[in-house]
Structure 1
């Protein structure tokens, strides 16, 4: 009989079972943690029902943004005047027909009386005279009403205005109304454009600084000598420290440094984006194929030639994708840093909130939502085509 090799199964060791008291301790520990967390965070689910009436007006205003408004039709005519003759614009002759405005003198000092005569306006309509200084700021001067011939006369005293050369505007209210964009919508639109370009400029400055720093923060390029290794760790440490500081804090610092406005927001976004993009860029450099680097290095090429011919061709597409994605992030972030004086639509939003103008705030919120969605769609398409 042929020898048969009998295969015996090795004895299976009994699986160690968790002791019941260990499981109970774990459950008790989690219970203590969550009970304490519930108490610290003051969770009270009942208030969601009992205080719902407080939030209803707010929600109602937020879903009804201030977009359009009915405004009366108006007709405005302006005439220049100056405090001094030096540099004063040449007087424009009044048209022979149509609305026209004349002053008793085109040069007048603050406090001096001024007679205003208007002709050719719509008869029997109310109107208002408005001072407009050299900076564009306006102030109501006096109300008037045209007579049956469409004329009026008003006596004024010239106020103190900023600058030397100004305008006096006569605005007559006509019959009928027009549906026009609301003041809130006009302001929000301008701030949204500012927000997009604020993020664009911050991202552009960051890219200019992050690209060269990313090569210094790539271990596969720098860790070939003690000096290079030291530079690598210094750059990476700077990246990590800068990324740990919230852009909101940076915007606050720059708002104090350079003043409230979009420039402070650009600087805050640029500084934070340098660290974020630098880290992404350097990690991308570290993940490239080492073959071309070794081949070009073997030919005796200099470090700059290695970067130019072996590294750059591999990193351009992902660098573009990272940059577009960072621009998308900065658009969202700029709406937040604007709340501390960094410019953009966030600065306008916090003003509406402080004034309890919830419908106007809703206009800003919906504008932010649309611009963020558009940027997300744009960046996703670009990254899909590039990568």
Structure 2
């Protein structure tokens, strides 16, 4: 140290500065190695090589996406479709390469290291790669906000879906031919005062997927309706030959129309993707329904709300059962993983090291992965979730308990051992009394973690509220997904309060 500053001098290079710089020009970092700056040279080589390797991987992906060959054409495609990324990463790689050469020259000539310029160049390069590989799109973030805000409002205030009413239904339907063979169906004629719809054309092709797995929409048809309730939204439903019915979507929204003051409407839609069951004569007919739904009677809790409550209770008890099983198995394991308990012989220390390694391996695998394995093992449902959480809880609590054991006061242990007590007696009378407080604290904290994790492992079939949440999200039922999210937040808040009260009483 000199004058309070770090000494940046290094051991002189055994070779001339130009030769050292030329070495780093041929192999980045070699000049630093020659100047006996091994770690610096290896770090520079690894940084430049990893950045260049990731860039080549990205170029290979671009070549595959756009089906081009040749380095020049691939690089051209990169500049054409990702100009900002291409310019920045090549700029970063070039500057870092030149900086490594200059750094090798300065080390050999001036016997001092350069400032942290290289660190910022490496950071710029990896940030550029990360920005591209993670597909960050700020333009899409801003432009999609209006549409996303509508969906988010349903999640933030979803309580309309928590109640339901008895329904009164007004409907009319017409058939459409969706195969090459068969006679055109006639448009139905309704009685005076009754609703009816007509479809033109009455033959069409269903939506398909091409050889590149791109969706190809079905034929376009026009639906006209009359005799419905005026100024009311009319839903369009599709019923295939198997009796399955669903609401077609267009641009992410359900197809439908609002009737005019005379109860008429007209809309155009593409035929959706649907099951095909060709009849014996080669003809296949599907149906299009126009429906108006009216709510009647007093409000009542919806069936979906009851299902969400049931799954939330399942989630809470999944976390509780996993915590109980985790505590039971982790307590004995934690003593095997405590150095101060196991030291004394090679055999016990071998058990100690093996236990610690096993706990670290199991703990490093997330409960979500354990849930996937458990689903394969015992099938879908909460039991798979309990297995996953229990396995991870054993490893996590075993580590926490063992570290708490290693931090206890050794005075009582030495006093008990001085009386000639066995190892088991020492644990019972000197270790366990000191461990009650941290054991309770860690156990309550793990219960809180397990309840929150129970909401996640349901995404892979591990039961609980997460299973419903992912289904609602996939079906774009954002209000029901919002109710599930609200119940998760409320439950976690209540459990946090309960755990704080328990901790205050026992810790």
Compute the displacement of 1:71 (Å).
2.2
**Correspondence for 2:129:** 36
SS at match of 1:46: helix
What TM-score, normalized by structure 2, do the two folds share? 0.52
8 A Cα contact 2:323 2:450, kept in partner: yes
Compute the displacement of 1:325 (Å).
0.7
**2:189 is the counterpart of 1:69:** no
Distance 1:349 1:70 in 2: 20
**Correspondence for 2:405:** 285
Task: Report 1:30-109 matches (<5 A).
Answer: 30-66=123-159, 67-72=161-166
**Correspondence for 1:25:** 118
Compute the displacement of 1:209 (Å).
0.5
Compute the displacement of 1:223 (Å).
1.2
Runs (4+) off by over 4 Å: 16-21
Compute the displacement of 1:31 (Å).
2.3
Task: Report 1:248-259 matches (<5 A).
Answer: 248-259=368-379
8 A Cα contact 1:68 1:179, kept in partner: no
Distance 2:335 2:377 in 1: 31
Compute the displacement of 1:365 (Å).
0.8
Whose relative contact order is higher, 1 or 2, with alpha carbons under 8 Å and at least 6 apart? 1
Distance 1:318 1:262 in 2: 29
Once the two structures are superposed, what CA deviation does each residue of 1:292-317 show, in whole Å capped at 9, x if it has no partner? 00000010001111011100100011
**Correspondence for 1:211:** 331
8 A Cα contact 1:214 1:279, kept in partner: yes
**Correspondence for 2:419:** 299
Distance 2:141 2:427 in 1: 60
Distance 1:305 1:235 in 2: 22
Compute the displacement of 1:281 (Å).
0.6
Change (3 A) 1:206 1:15: closer
**Correspondence for 2:204:** none
Distance 1:13 1:258 in 2: 68
**Correspondence for 2:262:** none
8 A Cα contact 1:184 1:363, kept in partner: no
**Correspondence for 1:177:** 297
What TM-score, normalized by structure 1, do the two folds share? 0.67
8 A Cα contact 2:162 2:483, kept in partner: no
Q: Tell which deviates more after alignment, 60-69 or 327-336.
A: 60-69
Distance 2:387 2:113 in 1: 58
**2:192 is the counterpart of 1:192:** no
Compute the displacement of 1:254 (Å).
1.0
User: Mind listing any 5+ residue stretches in structure 2 that lack a counterpart?
Assistant: 9-111, 168-294
Q: How many residues align?
A: 275
Compute the displacement of 1:210 (Å).
0.5
**Correspondence for 2:184:** none
User: Mind listing any 5+ residue stretches in structure 1 that lack a counterpart?
Assistant: 1-11, 74-174
Match of 1:357 among 447, 455, 477: 477
Distance 2:116 2:333 in 1: 51
SS at match of 2:116: helix
